[in-house]
C-alpha cells in the first residue's frame, strides 16, 4: 500500500485496495487501447504510464504522462464509455484497477476521494488545453520548451531539475520527429536554456524557457 499512501489517507488507501485489483505491466505493454470499453479506473502504484493517440500510421502523439500515485482516464471511467486514447507503460509499472461500479460508489461515500478525483480532472483538463496549444505552435523550439517546462514543474530557488523522459517521449509530446527534437534540444542547450550532462537534460532555471514560449 505504500506506493499510494503518500497521496491518500490510510483509510482511503485501505478501501481502494479492498475493491481494486493489482496488475503489472512491462515497459511498452498496453494497459488498454483506444476504443476499449472503460470498465475500471486505473491508479498507478509504481512506474509511469503514457496516454497516446495515433493520428496517422507510424505517428504517435503523447497526450499525457502519469506516475505513481496518480489517477488517470477519469472521464471514461465515470461515464462508462470508451477510452479516447491508448495507455502504454513507459517502464515496468504496477496499477490498481478499480471496477467502475465500486469507483462510482466510492465517489458518493467518500468526500476525500471525490475531492481528489475532481481536482485531478481539473489538472487533466488544463494539461489537455496546454497540449492543444503546444501542437498548434509552428516553432519547434517553442514546442520543445513548452514540454520541458511541463516536465520540470515548479522549481525552488537553487534547485536543479533532471528530466528523466527520453528524447523520443519529448518528441511524441511535442508532435515532432525524433531528429527535430534532438536538434532543438541541442540548440536550447547551446543558448544556455538548459544543460545536457551524460545525455540527460538538466534545468537550472525556467526563466529563459518561459520567455521563449510567451
What is the DSSP track for 148-178? HHHHH----TT--EEE-S-HHHHHHHHT--H
The CATH number of the domain holding residue 110 is: 2.60.120.10
pLDDT averaged per 10 residues in sequence order, the chain, 214 residues: 69 93 96 96 95 81 88 94 95 96 95 93 83 83 92 86 90 89 95 94 92 85
182 and 130 part of one domain: no
* DSSP-derived secondary structure letter, 37: B
154 and 125 part of one domain: no
What dihedral do alpha carbons 42, 58, 186, 158 form, nearest 10°? Answer: -10
39 and 145 part of one domain: no
**Among candidate residues 18, 11, 91, 86, the one with its CA nearest the CA of residue 54:** 86
Distance CA 189, CA 143 (A): 15
The CATH number of the domain holding residue 160 is: 1.10.10.10
Q: Is 18 exposed, middle or buried (0-12, 13-18, 19+ CB in 10 A)?
A: exposed
Residue at which a domain ends, from 101, 117, 135: 135
**Among candidate residues 167, 170, 166, 212, the one with its CA nearest the CA of residue 192:** 212
Sheet containing strand 30-32, edge to edge, reads 30-32, 86-89, 48-56, 59-67
- Cβ(75)–Cβ(121) below 8 Å: yes
User: Which residue, chain included where needed, has cell 481502494?
Assistant: 16
Distance CA 159, CA 50 (A): 26
Q: Is 24 helix (H, G, I), strand (E, B) or coil?
A: strand
96 and 183 part of one domain: no
Residue range 79-93, pLDDT digits in tens: 999 999 999 999 999
Q: Is 105 helix (H, G, I), strand (E, B) or coil?
A: helix
Residue 40: the pLDDT is: 97
Domain carrying residue 156: 140-213
Neighbour tally for 177: CB within 10 Å: 13
What is this structure's pTM? 0.71
Domain count, the chain: 2
Residue range 136-171, pLDDT digits in tens: 888 999 999 999 998 898 888 889 999 988 898 899
Residue 1: the pLDDT is: 45
Q: How far is CA 64 from each of CA 69, 110, 153, 170, 192, rounded to the nearest angstrom? A: 15, 27, 14, 11, 27
Neighbour tally for 211: CB within 10 Å: 10
Residue 89: the pLDDT is: 96
Residue 133: the pLDDT is: 80
Amino acid at each position: 500500500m505504500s506506493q499510494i499512501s503518500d497521496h491518500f489517507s490510510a483509510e482511503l488507501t485501505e478501501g481502494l485496495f479492498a475493491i481494486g485489483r493489482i496488475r503489472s505491466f512491462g515497459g511498452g505493454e498496453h494497459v488498454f487501447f483506444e476504443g476499449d470499453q472503460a470498465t475500471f479506473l486505473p491508479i498507478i502504484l509504481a512506474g509511469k504510464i503514457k496516454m497516446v493517440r495515433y493520428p496517422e500510421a507510424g505517428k504517435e502523439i503523447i497526450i499525457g504522462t502519469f506516475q505513481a500515485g496518480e489517477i488517470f482516464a477519469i472521464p471514461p471511467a465515470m461515464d462508462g464509455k470508451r477510452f479516447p486514447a491508448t495507455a502504454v507503460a513507459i517502464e515496468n509499472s504496477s496499477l490498481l484497477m478499480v471496477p467502475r461500479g465500486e469507483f462510482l460508489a466510492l465517489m458518493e461515500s467518500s468526500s476525500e476521494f471525490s475531492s481528489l478525483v475532481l481536482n485531478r480532472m481539473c489538472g487533466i483538463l488544463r494539461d489537455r488545453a496546454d497540449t492543444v496549444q503546444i501542437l498548434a505552435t509552428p516553432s519547434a523550439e517553442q514546442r520543445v520548451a513548452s514540454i520541458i517546462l511541463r516536465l520540470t514543474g515548479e522549481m525552488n530557488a537553487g534547485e536543479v531539475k533532471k528530466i528523466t523522459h527520453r528524447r523520443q517521449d519529448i518528441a511524441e509530446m511535442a508532435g515532432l520527429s525524433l531528429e527535430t527534437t534532438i536538434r532543438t534540444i541541442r540548440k536550447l542547450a547551446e543558448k544556455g536554456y538548459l544543460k545536457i550532462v551524460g545525455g540527460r537534460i538538466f534545468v537550472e532555471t525556467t526563466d529563459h524557457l518561459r520567455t521563449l514560449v510567451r
